[in-house]
Homo-oligomer: A and B are copies of this chain.
Amino acid sequence: MAAQRRVASLTRQLTSAPAELEGFDAVSTVTDVVGSTESGFDPRSLYEFITRDNVQLRDTAMEFMQDDLYKPNYYQSLMDFREQTLQRLQKYVDQRFFKTMDYLKDPRRFMAGLEVLALCDYSLAIKAGVHFTLCGGTICKLGTAKHHAKYLPGLDSLELPGCFGMTELGHGSNVLGIETQAVYDKETGEFVIHTPSDTASKFWIGGSAQHGKVCTVFAQLTVNGKWEGPHVFVVRIRDDQGKLTHGVRIRDNGPKMGLNGVDNGQIWFEHVRIPRDALLNRFADVAEDGTYSSPFPTVGQRFGVTVGGLTTGRMLIAGGGIDASKIGVCIAIAYACQRPQFGSRYIMEYLTHQRRLLPALATCYAMHFTLCTLKDIAFTAKPNAKAVHVLSSGLKAAATWNRVEILQDCRECCGGQGFSAENKIGPMKTDFDVDTTFEGDNTVLMQQVAKALLESAAKSRTKLQRPDLRPEEALTPSSIQELLQFRQDALVAQIGGEMQRAAASSSGKAAAAASTAAFDANLDLVVALGAAFYLAHNALSRPHFQAVRLFVNENCSRLSSNGGETLLRLCAGFGIPDHLIQAPIAFDWRCIGKDL
């Protein structure tokens, strides 16, 4: 199924989210900046307008990456690339652009310091993200003062490279079902971490194959013979000299289709003893005598607060996908505006090219603003945790599926040059491809979004409103909003209705099972069709579609006119400096190879 359709479904959910999403009028404000003439506006002003925080920090960090160490080298072997990635991270960390504790204290700064890395190299961004966000953030959020004092200085300096031990060979999306055991031994006051089977081995653990020294390990806690659910423990996997600690076995996960600067590994724990203090005890603790305590009485509640900390990671993944899309679009449009084909006509003048690259450019801006809005919701004094979870899950899936499609179009629009490593789009495609399934498989995340919508619809029953639009109105901002809302409501009503009917035919557990089965049987609607939906539901007619098509084609032509000047300024508005764009075809492609 085409990513575009799945994404359209999610975008709709995001754009029609509750009033909290107040940043959504941002687009009309861009028009103010850009001006009604659509040309001649200053890209730097646009960049400063769309960049909601830490402009100075981002400028400095991007400037810093002019250092030769950050220039790409695609000739090196996998092991050399990993070593280079570590060096890059060390030098970046040495600048102290942010601290691990900013995860809690200044999350916008924390994210800005990491977001910039994805513009340079995704291996570097992910190695940093695992260390600071997944490991460091978990220690910040789930740990207490003693953990902060013990680990954060080493994390800040990278003396203590961190890993995140959640996923297991047999358990990816189902974190509640992990097998790794943590049993409290009150005789010694220690926890015993153990891998009971091969499927329980920790898998894809970034940074663990070579460099990691500390790992936040998810394990099923048993105290006094009672299972208390997944808890997180800080485990030293290597000593200060880099030697594996007693009882820890690690296998290198080896080469990947991309992202080969990150050393992923598979970890087994063989009755590894760790002190009682190693439990991250903000939400649950074990006293010396083995008394278990938590303000959250059920395993489910504790699990919720434990994995709730993954939100920042998902936002970073979304942001990385959006930034990669921006770079791809900048390169493809710059090339298309100066590359003639079949005579003197530039390829940007062809409608086929416009219909691929202009929606991609628009999507980059739309996704950028959505992320800004999500940050506004997440980084308030009392965020709505459920809304943040649902929106970050949805945006992560939407942004990364969009990224797949946008980079593919950009690469193809550059012809053979798009396949060359030096033109950056290809390597971004291979490196970023991981983002559709890590930190939550997109399909699973989509189902969570759908479930949240169904729950919310079950509470507030509003009548389904079919939009009544004249053809020429089909593409005004308000009509688009109306159409998206209608699709969301209609799909939710259809699936919710089928679940209710299924449940009504039985009772108790059987009813719940029937309802779940009805949900499963409608999973295809969760990722439902775009344009066909409106036609099939009589929300739009053939004249509407003809009007939409003409409107889109006319705007493509208008925006691409004048040598693509407006497009180039809109690209420049992303504020990505030339040394991070890198690609020779984005500059004077006629000179490629001339230096021989």
Whether A145 is near chain B, meaning CB under 8 Å from some CB there, is no
Interface residues of A in 127-142 (CB under 8 A from B): none
Measured between alpha carbons, how far is A356 from B521 in the docked complex, in Å?
Answer: 15
Whether A441 is near chain B, meaning CB under 8 Å from some CB there, is yes
The reply to whether B405 and A418 form a contact with Cβ atoms under 8 Å apart is: no
Can you identify 24 A-B contacts, CB atoms within 8 angstroms? A1-B356, A1-B409, A75-B254, A77-B77, A169-B589, A169-B593, A170-B340, A172-B416, A174-B342, A198-B592, A198-B593, A251-B593, A251-B596, A255-B421, A256-B426, A257-B420, A257-B426, A259-B419, A355-B523, A412-B436, A412-B437, A416-B438, A529-B531, A535-B536
Given contacts A256-B426, A412-B437, A419-B434, contact A3 B1 (CB under 8 A): no
| The one of B2, B74, B522, B591 that contacts A2, using a Cβ cutoff of 8 Å | B2
Residue of B nearest to A528 (CB): B549
Whether A63 is near chain B, meaning CB under 8 Å from some CB there, is no
Q: Smallest CB–CB gap between A558 and chain B, Å?
A: 13
Do most interface residues of chain A lie in helix, strand or loop, or is the interface mixed? helix
Residue interface bits A347-363, CB-to-B below 8 A is 1, else 0: 00011100110000000
Q: Smallest CB–CB gap between A265 and chain B, Å?
A: 9
Of the candidate stretches A505-513, A537-545, A561-569, the one touching chain B is A537-545
Whether A258 is near chain B, meaning CB under 8 Å from some CB there, is yes
Interface residues of A in 256-300 (CB under 8 A from B): 256-259, 266
The reply to whether B419 and A437 form a contact with Cβ atoms under 8 Å apart is: yes
Q: Smallest CB–CB gap between A584 and chain B, Å?
A: 11
In the complex, which of the residues A74, A76, A343, A352 has the most CB atoms of chain B within 10 Å of its own CB atom? A352
The reply to whether B174 and A524 form a contact with Cβ atoms under 8 Å apart is: no
The reply to whether B254 and A523 form a contact with Cβ atoms under 8 Å apart is: no
Whether A408 is near chain B, meaning CB under 8 Å from some CB there, is yes
Whether A430 is near chain B, meaning CB under 8 Å from some CB there, is yes
Residue of B nearest to A546 (CB): B536
Whether A422 is near chain B, meaning CB under 8 Å from some CB there, is yes
Size bracket, chain A contacts: 35 or more
> Which B residues touch A258, using CB under 8 A?
419, 426, 430
> Which B residues touch A592, using CB under 8 A?
169, 198, 266
Whether A429 is near chain B, meaning CB under 8 Å from some CB there, is yes
Q: Smallest CB–CB gap between A276 and chain B, Å?
A: 30
Given contacts A199-B590, A255-B422, contact A412 B442 (CB under 8 A): yes
Whether A201 is near chain B, meaning CB under 8 Å from some CB there, is yes
Whether A586 is near chain B, meaning CB under 8 Å from some CB there, is no
Interface residues of A in 409-439 (CB under 8 A from B): 409, 411-412, 415-416, 418-422, 425-427, 429-430, 433-434, 436-438
The reply to whether B524 and A549 form a contact with Cβ atoms under 8 Å apart is: yes
Given contacts A520-B350, A523-B352, A542-B536, contact A434 B421 (CB under 8 A): no
Q: Smallest CB–CB gap between A179 and chain B, Å?
A: 12
In the complex, which of the residues A76, A341, A350, A591 has the most CB atoms of chain B within 10 Å of its own CB atom? A341
| The one of B74, B75, B430, B438 that contacts A430, using a Cβ cutoff of 8 Å | B430
Measured between alpha carbons, how far is A589 from B201 in the docked complex, in Å?
Answer: 13
Q: Smallest CB–CB gap between A587 and chain B, Å?
A: 14
The reply to whether B75 and A75 form a contact with Cβ atoms under 8 Å apart is: no
Q: Smallest CB–CB gap between A200 and chain B, Å?
A: 11
What are the 9 tightest A-B residue pairs by CB atom distance, in nearest-first order?
A257-B426, A2-B2, A74-B255, A535-B535, A531-B532, A255-B421, A77-B77, A351-B523, A251-B596
Whether A249 is near chain B, meaning CB under 8 Å from some CB there, is yes
Measured between alpha carbons, how far is A221 from B535 in the docked complex, in Å?
Answer: 56
Whether A84 is near chain B, meaning CB under 8 Å from some CB there, is no
The reply to whether B416 and A167 form a contact with Cβ atoms under 8 Å apart is: yes
